[in-house]
A and B are shown apart, each in its own frame.
Chain A
């Protein structure tokens, strides 16, 4: 049972996708591109070309380059639409037996299904090369208005290409699947598809796991290319005014113009003005000529206006024929590269009064939807396998009141994370695990989920015991927190419903709060960390004084004691820099102890001076020299 390929077999461009690890993903073709032009050609040398290579040589090989063959699939030659297309096609067509269309490629005639099969064959081969496995099954998308004959023709094309087409699904339905709208209940969705060569709009109704196409409409000869042509004409006209030269007569100049026009159009989606710069566009008696002009977004929108208006008109008609009002529509989906144009997004928004969905790449959304359908059929998308994510980070409160995250927000569950912690004070025999949820840096600012205590930790200097804290969230969002002392293997745990009581709105608010307070939180955390470091330094210094106090001279001792006092004083304030300076000063004083010890041991080596070993640090803190197997104090 291999993977099923999801294929968007478009009029101008095709794309393919597959479900991997539960997610749909576009597969690049052999050239490394995510879409493949739906063009097939025969070169003069008799070589068959498919895709970008075929498109590139179209200009000089017009009779043997077949494009837009989707327009003939399942149609009769006598159909009015077909007759129109034939008259503008650069390649020859004939009537096939049975009334269908056949195209002439080289010295042979082919049915449109056979040409489409060549495109599918390339997609299949490229997918197999990328994935390293054989592909024998596919889901192919078709326009919602395709009739039975056209759907059958598409299935046949798949069969010829060696693909068992498990299902033919409608393009707007695929788009809805890609956005997960198949899960909605009783909603109406508009899919607005403005592609390179065609415009399609459909009204879908979703409910009970079924997506129904209520009405559909469009213009199969209106697309982004028309806008490109208008831009080219505008540039050429402007240039003619300025220089008197008609550059459309020059084939190279025309190609460069075409390229520049498309580039300008793309740029104007994100900027208000763009520069069209083509040096050495042509030459005349006075020498080489250059094209340099500016184009504003307003000009582009003017050029595109008639197409945008027409698309909105058709959209309104389709809505009417489904007997819906604009207010009945819950979601709008944008499909097709041309919908990246801000003017189109605005126009659609104005009709429905809500933002259209465009977060999924509009060139790829249909192929992704086809892959999702494949995934559903293969059981990749079983309900039990629809994994959730935890919406907010989970962690515990650590020294100084800091919230230490153990599982980051948006982690897919089930998940387990563990981390080792230690004690904050000497002889601390129990730890309190305070479980918190949220994004704030300080535990108090987060939501408290629960607390428990693990005791029975053998007395030891701070930082020595190792307590492993594990967070385990199961597929239902139930959190189990376990704390285990590695020395004794004693453990304690708590079970929490991590999501109880929080609505989506609550979660959003918590995230927003964290963002807004990010700076102050950062400072708070820094202060805590600086203080913790200062504490550590004081602890080490006091311990050193205790151990070596009698061996070092008074002035060194006083230097350290003084520095310790200074740190203790500054620690109470919120002056981070001050604490750091005092801590650093203490560290410097402490080094003098070490230096002195070094020097004195060298100079007193032969004098055999016995240091006061008898004076062990008695009282509260007994150095653990007798206990075997314990290492030095380690910071966690």
Chain B
């Protein structure tokens, strides 16, 4: 044990001078040292605890960073796909309002199909929920339409814009009109 590790009790320690017997003073000194020891132990435990938590935090952050990285890699194309959705909507509109079935209309349909195929290869899927029960997670209602029967209540009566999923997760709900029956 090097000199640094030794607890030095100075021989000219004042606490051993003055009134009272040496035994009393030693007992006093003993008590003081015990308190210091208890305090040091408490601090030690605090530091150890803090250290362990910091290490645990570090391990958890690493794990979470890896999880997030994998999600990022998988969904890297997400923002590009979201930016393309308005254009896909326009295609649907164009095809929906097309007059006749001439070769030009044919061309537009085929172009749309090309685009969709490329996106499907990336995990994108379109859905058209006409007639389904309204689901606030999948559908965004923009209009409430009065309907004539109970069975049509809370049902999708019109699909304005299709909904899209990426790897099964909804990236854009379908824009619909929902039936409202007042009986």
Q: Indicate whether A56 reaches chain B with its CB closer than 8 angstroms.
A: yes
Q: CB distance A255 to B142 under 8 Å?
A: yes
Complex alpha-carbon distance, A53 and B141, angstroms: 11
Contact with A along B154-182 (1 / 0, CB 8 A): 10000010000000000001010010100
Q: CB distance B93 to A288 under 8 Å?
A: yes
A368 → B minimal CB distance (Å): 16
Q: Indicate whether A20 reaches chain B with its CB closer than 8 angstroms.
A: yes
Contact A252-B97, Cβ < 8 Å, known A45-B154, A60-B178:
no
Q: CB distance A280 to B90 under 8 Å?
A: yes
Contact A59-B57, Cβ < 8 Å, known A279-B90, A279-B93:
no
Q: What residue in chain A is nearest B91 (Cβ atoms)? A: A279
Q: CB distance A20 to B61 under 8 Å?
A: yes
Q: What residue in chain B is nearest A288 (Cβ atoms)? A: B97
B178 → A minimal CB distance (Å): 6
B158 → A minimal CB distance (Å): 9
Q: CB distance B175 to A255 under 8 Å?
A: yes
Q: Specify which chain B residues have a CB less than 8 angstroms from the CB of A252 in the assembled complex.
A: 142-143, 160, 175
Q: Specify which chain B residues have a CB less than 8 angstroms from the CB of A56 in the assembled complex.
A: 136, 140-141, 173
Q: Specify which chain A residues have a CB less than 8 angstroms from the CB of B94 in the assembled complex.
A: 279-280, 288
Q: CB distance A59 to B90 under 8 Å?
A: no
Q: Specify which chain B residues have a CB less than 8 angstroms from the CB of A59 in the assembled complex.
A: 141-143
Q: Indicate whether A629 reaches chain B with its CB closer than 8 angstroms.
A: no
Contact with A along B108-143 (1 / 0, CB 8 A): 000000000000000000000000011011011111
Q: Specify which chain A residues have a CB less than 8 angstroms from the CB of B58 in the assembled complex.
A: 21
Q: CB distance B134 to A44 under 8 Å?
A: yes
Complex alpha-carbon distance, A288 and B91, angstroms: 13
Q: Indicate whether A418 reaches chain B with its CB closer than 8 angstroms.
A: no
Contact A57-B54, Cβ < 8 Å, known A20-B61, A252-B175, A283-B97:
no
Complex alpha-carbon distance, A517 and B135, angstroms: 61
Q: Indicate whether A608 reaches chain B with its CB closer than 8 angstroms.
A: no
Q: CB distance A287 to B97 under 8 Å?
A: yes
Complex alpha-carbon distance, A135 and B160, angstroms: 41
A319 → B minimal CB distance (Å): 41
> Which of A22, A53, A288 has a CB less than 8 Å from the CB of B137?
A53
> Which of B57, B60, B140, B180 has a CB less than 8 Å from the CB of A57?
B140
Q: Specify which chain A residues have a CB less than 8 angstroms from the CB of B142 in the assembled complex.
A: 59-60, 251-252, 255
**Count of inter-chain pairs, beta carbons less than 8 A:** 64
Q: Indicate whether A93 reaches chain B with its CB closer than 8 angstroms.
A: no
A456 → B minimal CB distance (Å): 26
Q: Specify which chain B residues have a CB less than 8 angstroms from the CB of A516 in the assembled complex.
A: none
Q: Specify which chain A residues have a CB less than 8 angstroms from the CB of B178 in the assembled complex.
A: 60
Complex alpha-carbon distance, A43 and B135, angstroms: 9
Q: Indicate whether A449 reaches chain B with its CB closer than 8 angstroms.
A: no
Q: Indicate whether B144 reaches chain A with its CB closer than 8 angstroms.
A: yes
Q: Indicate whether A49 reaches chain B with its CB closer than 8 angstroms.
A: yes
B43 → A minimal CB distance (Å): 11
Q: Specify which chain A residues have a CB less than 8 angstroms from the CB of B144 in the assembled complex.
A: 60
Q: Indicate whether A386 reaches chain B with its CB closer than 8 angstroms.
A: no
Q: Indicate whether A285 reaches chain B with its CB closer than 8 angstroms.
A: no
Contact with B along A33-77 (1 / 0, CB 8 A): 000000001011101010001101101110000000000000000
Complex alpha-carbon distance, A20 and B59, angstroms: 11
Q: Indicate whether A385 reaches chain B with its CB closer than 8 angstroms.
A: yes
> Which of B50, B61, B143, B173 has a CB less than 8 Å from the CB of A60?
B143
Complex alpha-carbon distance, A21 and B58, angstroms: 6
Q: What residue in chain A is nearest B154 (Cβ atoms)? A: A44
Q: What residue in chain B is nearest A57 (Cβ atoms)? A: B136
Complex alpha-carbon distance, A54 and B136, angstroms: 8
Complex alpha-carbon distance, A385 and B139, angstroms: 49
Q: What residue in chain A is nearest B144 (Cβ atoms)? A: A60
Q: Specify which chain B residues have a CB less than 8 angstroms from the CB of A43 in the assembled complex.
A: 134, 136
Name, among A22, A54, A57, A283, the residue most crowded by chain B CB atoms within 10 Å (CB to CB): A57
Q: CB distance A21 to B140 under 8 Å?
A: no
Q: Specify which chain B residues have a CB less than 8 angstroms from the CB of A44 in the assembled complex.
A: 134, 153-154
Complex alpha-carbon distance, A19 and B69, angstroms: 20
Q: CB distance A21 to B54 under 8 Å?
A: yes
Q: Specify which chain A residues have a CB less than 8 angstroms from the CB of B143 in the assembled complex.
A: 59-60, 251-252
Q: What residue in chain B is nearest A263 (Cβ atoms)? A: B86
Complex alpha-carbon distance, A323 and B116, angstroms: 63
Complex alpha-carbon distance, A60 and B144, angstroms: 6
Q: Specify which chain B residues have a CB less than 8 angstroms from the CB of A57 in the assembled complex.
A: 136, 139-141
Q: CB distance A47 to B136 under 8 Å?
A: yes
Complex alpha-carbon distance, A43 and B94, angstroms: 33
Q: Specify which chain B residues have a CB less than 8 angstroms from the CB of A49 in the assembled complex.
A: 136
Complex alpha-carbon distance, A57 and B140, angstroms: 6
Q: In chain B, residues 50-93, which have Cβ atoms closer than 8 Å to a Cβ of chain A?
A: 50, 54, 57-58, 60-61, 90, 93
Complex alpha-carbon distance, A54 and B54, angstroms: 38
Contact with B along A238-252 (1 / 0, CB 8 A): 000000000000011
Q: Specify which chain A residues have a CB less than 8 angstroms from the CB of B93 in the assembled complex.
A: 279-280, 288
A426 → B minimal CB distance (Å): 42
Q: Specify which chain A residues have a CB less than 8 angstroms from the CB of B133 in the assembled complex.
A: 45
Q: Specify which chain A residues have a CB less than 8 angstroms from the CB of B54 in the assembled complex.
A: 21-22
Name, among A54, A255, A287, A382, the residue most crowded by chain B CB atoms within 10 Å (CB to CB): A255
Complex alpha-carbon distance, A47 and B133, angstroms: 13
Complex alpha-carbon distance, A21 and B61, angstroms: 8
Given contacts A20-B57, A255-B175, A280-B90, 17 further A-B contacts (CB under 8 A): A20-B60, A21-B58, A21-B61, A22-B54, A47-B136, A53-B136, A53-B137, A56-B140, A56-B141, A56-B173, A59-B143, A60-B142, A280-B93, A280-B94, A287-B97, A379-B50, A382-B50
Could you name 15 residue pairs across A and B whose Cβ atoms are closer than 8 Å? A21-B54, A21-B61, A44-B154, A47-B136, A49-B136, A56-B173, A57-B139, A57-B140, A59-B142, A252-B143, A255-B175, A279-B90, A279-B94, A287-B97, A288-B94
Contacts from B to A (Cβ < 8 Å): 50, 54, 57-58, 60-61, 90, 93-94, 97, 99, 133-134, 136-137, 139-144, 153-154, 160, 173, 175, 178, 180
Q: Which 10 A-B pairs have the closest CB atoms?
A: A280-B93, A60-B141, A279-B90, A60-B144, A288-B97, A251-B143, A44-B154, A56-B140, A21-B57, A255-B142
